[in-house]
Amino acid sequence: MAPPTIRYATTGDSLRVAFHTLGEGPAVVMLFPYHVNHLALNWRVPLHRGAIEYLARYFTVVNLDFRGAGLSERRIAKLSLESFSEDIDSVLAQLQLHRVGLCAMGPAGLIACDFAARVPARVSSVVFIQSGESEANRRVLNLRHMNPNVEAQLRGALFGGLHDRHTAAALAAVAREALQSDALKQWEDILDGNDLLSMAARVTAPTLYLHAANDDLVPLTAGRALVRRLANSKLMVVPGNSGMDVWRDRGAVQSIARFLAQGFGVESEVQRAQRKARKTRGDLPAGLSEREAEVLRLLAAGRTNPQMANELFISLNTVSHHLRNIFAKTGAGNRTEAASFAHHHGLASEDTHTPRSLVTKPQV
């Protein structure tokens, strides 16, 4: 799928804020940490793109680059939580959206708390992913002042995972290009000058907090501390070593969609759509998983392994893993036999890459 079209909203102080949308239905704003704001490059991060595309099956997913970052206007005088809220407001005003869900990752939880507390009537619910206070996370970010390339590579490895080099490299690219040094320093000042736990106590919207169980960068104790401060919160612990592992967990991603839908009163519709999707996966021949079927369709279309990796935004190692499973399940001895199996079972002609909106209840 081609990247969504980049559009621009203008703030009250005449700054241009870049954003894009995908999907239809109730609106969900995804908030990436300020230091990894870059719409074009985040689209190339496999797990980020996968998360956006999945949520776009049910919602209008809104992504933006805050002022001073990514594709937004880089010339800024002063950065603050108030300016971040103004950027969100400007995008929502252009889209004529009055009530939204928020999905905040890492330190972007600070922005989500501020916005949800500032305009509570406009926020239906908030999802936090690995947003607890972390001195280690700040120390990693501080490395960007000394050697941006080293920090970018370290960030990619820590968050993407050493086993997923494709995601790690894509995350490193975002880190290298997201911010200039003046904006980075102002973001660090915001992190140091605001207490996340105190701000969380002002949030009244229902919240879901997801945390990878074995993350050393943001310890689970920090996540639990944040949950205790949120007035109406649930904690979901997911197996994994970093926040990115939340997006690798199918059950966690489904729970995020249902929780956001609940805030708009359309949870039952999302649940029905998810059950239908599970039934469809169960009808695949030879016990193939949904992802294996996608790989098999591309194989039948003549794609090479690197082309599959690029199109599905997964690593070459993951493509090879899926192909081994496909050969074992279908009994194919080579790619030609696997392609023949796909054509025989009607898999070669199916298109699974166009997200569909399954929730069409009007925006409230």
Reported as a single tens digit per residue, the pLDDT across 84-115 is 999 999 999 999 999 999 999 999 999 999 99
Tally of CA atoms within 13 A in the half-sphere of 34 that contains its CB: 32
pLDDT at 278: 66
**Top-ranked range on mean pLDDT: pick from 14-18, 153-157, 248-252, 262-266:** 14-18
CA–CA distance, 254 with 329 (Å, rounded to integer): 26
Does the pLDDT value for residue 11 go beyond 90? yes
Give pTM, 2 decimals: 0.79
If one compares 253 and 102, the residue with the highest pLDDT of the two is 102
Pair of tokens at residue 217:
């960068």
For 23-73, the pLDDT digits (tens) are 999 999 999 999 999 999 999 998 899 899 999 999 999 999 999 999 999
Across all residues in the chain, what is the average pLDDT? 89
Higher-pLDDT residue of 91 and 351 is 91
Lowest mean pLDDT among 220-229, 319-328, 337-346: 337-346
User: Which pLDDT score, from 0 to 100, does residue 362 have?
Assistant: 34
pLDDT at 136 over 80: yes
**Which CATH number is associated with domain 7-273?**
3.40.50.1820
Question: Which residues, in sequence order, are CB contacts of 243 under 8 Å at separation 6+?
Answer: 105, 106, 129, 130, 159, 211, 212, 215, 218
Q: What's domain 284-344's architecture?
A: Orthogonal Bundle (1.10)
Averaged pLDDT, 301-324: 86
149 vs 258: CA distance, rounded Å: 38
Where do the structural domains in the chain lie, given as residue ranges?
7-273, 284-344
pLDDT value, residue 164: 77
Closest CA to 44 of 174, 132, 156: 174
CB 6 within 8 A of CB 20: yes
Give the Cα separation of 61 and 333 in Å (integer): 42
As given in the structure block, the two tokens for residue 13 are 């102080």
